[in-house]
Amino acid sequence: MRKATIVENLNAVGERIVTCCNNCDRDPAEITLLAVSKTRPAEDLRIAYAAGQRHFGENYLQEALEKQDALQDLDIHWHFIGPLQSNKSRAVAERFDWMHTVDRLKIAQRLSSQRPANLAPLNICLQVKIDNEQSKSGIAPQDLETLAREVVQLPGLRLRGLMAIPAARQNVQEQYEPFAEMARLLQSLQELFPDEALDTLSMGMSADMEAAIACGATIVRIGTDIFGARNYSE
């Protein structure tokens, strides 16, 4: 996409975050904008980086690794936000700062044991299947505590919070429901694990960012509104 467009879009999203925070009495500094760059060429990430963007989210491992190679000279915080087969976990453990989609113990154990000792523990969000859709990945809310109890024991990981991709909803009022439920789930985890750095709610995309922020999102994952529409929907 054209450079000017990406920069304008980034600025517009930043302004939306500030406006939204003003409306719901939050500090914009609490919100990290994660630029979701799946399907975008490395050059688009470089443009966003030059405009100040530091956190990038990728869904497809092979594509992500190629971009990481092409952008080695930049100080990017890489977030993996796609589904991950357990036999592909090593590259995520070695080359990312965050992993948002942990939903089973096996993946967590592999990521922990594969995390290189010279790196800080990998930041983890547990993905919650907040709408009970059969097709979606994520752990059921009632199984969250059991998984969290295991994950906090793993030395290569740092449990930071929860992530969700709610089903699309028609209006903003309906968007609040799953996000508010996520906030309640995070709060109960914070009470169970007061010594953990459970400060993260990864939720909100281009179409529902405002509702997510109003409910407590700390990382919003924005693709379309920064880089434009993709050729296919995700």
Ligand X SMILES: *Cc1c(COP(=O)(O)O)cnc(C)c1O
Q: Is 197 helix (H, G, I), strand (E, B) or coil?
A: coil
Question: Based on CB atoms, which residue is closest to ligand X, 195 or 202?
Answer: 202
Exactly one of 59, 89, 175, 200 binds ligand X (CB under 6 A); that residue is 59
Minimal CB distance to ligand X: which residue?
223
Residue 177 CB partners (closer than 8 Å, separation 6+): none
Task: Report the amino acid identity of residue 213.
Answer: I
Under rule CB under 6 A, residue 67 binds ligand X: no
Q: How far apart are CA 36 and CA 15, in angstroms?
A: 18
Nearer to ligand X, 21 or 56 (CB): 56
**Per CB under 6 A, 9 contacts ligand X:** no
Minimum CB separation of residue 35 from ligand X in Å reads: 9
The token pair at 109 is 């154990």
> What residues form DSSP beta bridges with 157?
122
Task: By CB under 6 A, tell whether 10 contacts ligand X.
Answer: no
| 175 lies in the binding site for ligand X (CB under 6 A) | no
Residues 131-170 as x/- pattern, contact with ligand X by CB under 6 A: ----------------------------------x-----
Q: Report the nearest approach of ligand X to the CB of residue 75 (Å).
A: 22
Residue 179's contacts (CB-CB under 8 Å, 6 or more residues apart) are 164, 166, 203, 204, 208, 211, 212, 214, 215, 216, 217
Nearer to ligand X, 83 or 196 (CB): 83
Residue placing its CB nearer to ligand X in the complex, 147 or 217: 217
Question: Interface mask (CB under 6 A) for ligand X, residues 25-54, using x and -?
Answer: -----------x-x----------------
Q: Is residue 109 within the footprint of ligand X (CB under 6 A)?
A: no
Q: Look at residue 83 and give its three-state secondary structure.
A: coil
Range 72-101, binding ligand X (CB under 6 A): 81
Distance CA 100, CA 77 (A): 13
Q: How far apart are CA 36 and CA 7, in angstroms?
A: 14
Show contacts with ligand X in window 187-226 (CB under 6 A): 205-207, 221-225
Q: Which of 180, 81, 168, 174 is nearest to 125 (CA)?
A: 81
Q: Is 234 in the site for ligand X (CB under 6 A)?
A: yes
For the chain, helix, strand, coil in percent to 5 are 45, 15, 40
Which residues are near ligand X by CB under 6 A?
36, 38, 59, 81, 165, 205-207, 221-225, 234
